[in-house]
Amino acid sequence: MTTATTTAEKCFVTHLESAIDGTHLPAHTLQTTHEGRPLWVRYDLDAIGQAVSRDDLRNRPATMWRYRELLPYQAINDIVSLGEVMTPVIACPQLAHGIGGTGEVFIKDESHLPTGSFKSRGMAMAITMAKALGVTRIALPTAGNAGGAAAAYATRARIECFVFMPADTPIVNRYEAALFGAKSYLVNGLISDCGRIVQHGKESMRWFDLSTLKEPYRIEGKKTMGLELAEQFDWKLPDAILYPTGGGTGLIGMWKAFKELQALGWLESDTMPRMYACQSNGCAPIVNAFDVGERFAEPPDNPHTIASGLRVPKAVGDFMILDAVRESGGAAIAADENEIVPAMRQAASSEGLSICPETAACIAALQKLHESGAIKPHDRVVIFNTGAMQKYVEAMTIDLPAVDHERLTSADPQQLKSILEFETQI
C-alpha cells in the first residue's frame, strides 16, 4: 500500500478487530474474516480529535471523502471515486401526514450516488482498499445493486470483476453489471447459493471475495451515511432511523459512525437514535431472531420479496445488526409483503421521490411503529432510501392499469373526460 506523505493523508487506523471475539489483526494487510465472522476497522480516536475538528469539515468538498480521518485509506492517490456526493435529507410532510401525522419524517436519498444506490459508498471504499492492497480480481454474490456498483468501481480501478446473481435479480441490475464490464452470471437459486459459488472458486479462480462483510471496508464506506446525517442535522441525531436491512452493512456502519462521533465529542447530545432494522415478512430472519431474543438468525423457509435487496436469508453480520438494534433501544420489524408496492407508490406520488421497494418496506414499517406507539408524535424520523425506483422495473409495473396510448387530435370534451376518468382510476 502507498505510504502517506502529508498530514492531510495521514491514516489513523490502528488495527482490525474481530467482531465476534475481539481478536486483533494487523491493519494495512489484506484481511477477510476471523472465525467466519466480520472485522471492525479501529482508529486512534484521540489522535483524530487532536488532528481535526468538526468545524474543519466546512471547507472540504461535499463528498464522502470529506471524513478522511475516519476512513481507512492511506493516500489520496489510493482513492477510487466516481464522484460520491453528500446525499440530500428531504423533509416529507405529506408522507408523514399520510402515515397519521407522525412527527417529522425525512428521507435521506441515496439514489443521488453515482450508481444510483447506497452501494456506491461501500464499493468505493472496498475497491479503494482492494486496489491499494494489490487485489487484481474480485468476485461477489448480489441480488440487487451491489453487482453494478462493484463492476463500475472495479472497472475504474482496472480490477477484474465476477458477479453472480440469482436468476430473478431485477433486470436493470443484471444489465448494468454486464455493461460496467463485469463477467456476470445468473444462478438458479438464492443469493446464498451465489455466495457458495464465490467461496468455492476463491482458490481456483484466484479472486478476492468481496461479499457483504467478508472484508472490513464496505462498512467504512457505508458508515459515511451516518457521518453525513450527523453533520446535516447540526450534530444532533434524529430520534429514530428506519433502515432497510438485508445484509445490514449500512445499519452496522451507521451505528459504528455514531459511536465514533460520540467518542470524539462531536455530537450535541448523548442521546442516540433508535435503530429500526426493516425487512419484509417474506424474508425476515433478523426480525425473527429479535422477536425471540436470539443474537444469531436462522434462515427462513422459502425466502421471497419484491424488495430484492432484502432477500438475504442468512446475513454473516446478523449478530452485529441485532447488537446495534438492541443497544439503541430500537427494534427489528417486518412490513407486510403486500404493502411494499403500495407504500412505494405512496411515497413517490405524495413526495415526488424515487423510492425503491426496500425503502417502501420501511415506510410500511413506520406505519406499524406509529400505530403501536413506538414512534411518538414528536419524534424526528429518518428513513434511508437506498436506491432509485427506476432500477426496479418489475416493482414499478405491478398492478398498474393498462394504458391506452390513444393520440389526441383535438381538445375534444369526450376525450378529455375519458382522460380524467383514467387518472382518477390510477
pLDDT digits 0-9 by tens, 205-249: 999 999 999 999 999 999 999 999 999 999 999 999 999 999 999
- Report which residue type is found at 300: P
- Residue 421 pLDDT exceeds 90: no
Give percent of the chain above pLDDT 70: 91
- Residue 2 pLDDT exceeds 50: no
- Residue 424 pLDDT exceeds 70: no
Cell matching residue 203: 482458490
For the chain, what is the mean pLDDT? Answer: 91
Residue 7's pLDDT is what? 39
Give the residue among 296, 370, 301, 308 at the shortest CA–CA distance from 333: 370
Q: Mean pLDDT, to the nearest integer, of 358-386? A: 95
DSSP assignment of 327-371 equals HHT-EEEEE-GGGHHHHHHHHHHHH-----HHHHHHHHHHHHHHH
Tell me whether residue 398 is exposed, middle or buried, using C-beta atoms within 10 angstroms of its C-beta: 0 to 12, 13 to 18, 19 or more.
Answer: middle
- Residue 116 pLDDT exceeds 70: yes
The full length of the chain comes to 426
Domain spans of the chain? 89-116+218-396
Q: Mean pLDDT, to the nearest integer, of 83-107? A: 91
CA angle 407, 408, 412 (to 5 degrees): 150
Give percent of the chain above pLDDT 90: 85
- Report which residue type is found at 261: L
Q: What is the CA radius of gyration of the chain?
A: 22
Q: Mean pLDDT, to the nearest integer, of 370-384? A: 94
- In which element (H, E) is residue 46 found? helix 45-51
Core vs surface per residue 29-65: b (16+ CB within 10 A) or e: eebbbbeebbbbbbbebeebeeebebeebeeeeebbb
The confidence band for 1, taking pLDDT boundaries of 50, 70 and 90, is very low
Give the residue among 76, 89, 154 at the shortest CA–CA distance from 120: 154
Q: Mean pLDDT, to the nearest integer, of 93-118? A: 91
Give me the architecture of the 89-116+218-396 domain, per CATH. 3-Layer(aba) Sandwich (3.40)
pLDDT digits 0-9 by tens, 243-293: 999 999 999 999 999 999 999 999 999 899 999 999 999 999 999 999 999
Q: Mean pLDDT, to the nearest integer, of 32-59? A: 96
Phi and psi at residue 79, to the nearest 5°: -65, 130
pLDDT digits 0-9 by tens, 388-416: 999 998 888 776 655 554 555 555 666 55
Instruction: Tell me the longest C-alpha to C-alpha distance in the chain.
Output: 76
The confidence band for 361, taking pLDDT boundaries of 50, 70 and 90, is very high
CA angle 16, 198, 307 (to 5 degrees): 90
Residue 39's pLDDT is what? 97
pLDDT digits 0-9 by tens, 124-170: 999 999 999 999 999 999 988 999 999 999 999 999 999 999 999 99
Residue 162's pLDDT is what? 95
- Residue 297 pLDDT exceeds 80: yes
Cell matching residue 91: 423533509
Residue 137's pLDDT is what? 97
Residue 8's pLDDT is what? 47
Q: Name every residue whose Cβ is closer than 8 Å to that of residue 220 and which is 6 or more positions away in sequence.
A: 41, 71, 72, 125, 253
The confidence band for 100, taking pLDDT boundaries of 50, 70 and 90, is confident
pLDDT digits 0-9 by tens, 63-76: 999 999 999 999 99
- Residue 103 pLDDT exceeds 80: no
What predicted TM-score, i.e. pTM, was given to this entire model?
A: 0.91
Alpha carbon 293 to its chain centroid, in Å, reads 25
- The residues with which 240 forms a beta bridge, in sequence order, are 274, 381
Q: Which residue matches cell numbers 428521507? A: 107
Is the Cβ–Cβ distance between 114 and 221 less than 8 Å? no
User: What are the strands of the beta sheet with 240-244, ordered from one edge?
Assistant: 89-91, 104-109, 380-385, 240-244, 274-280, 331-335
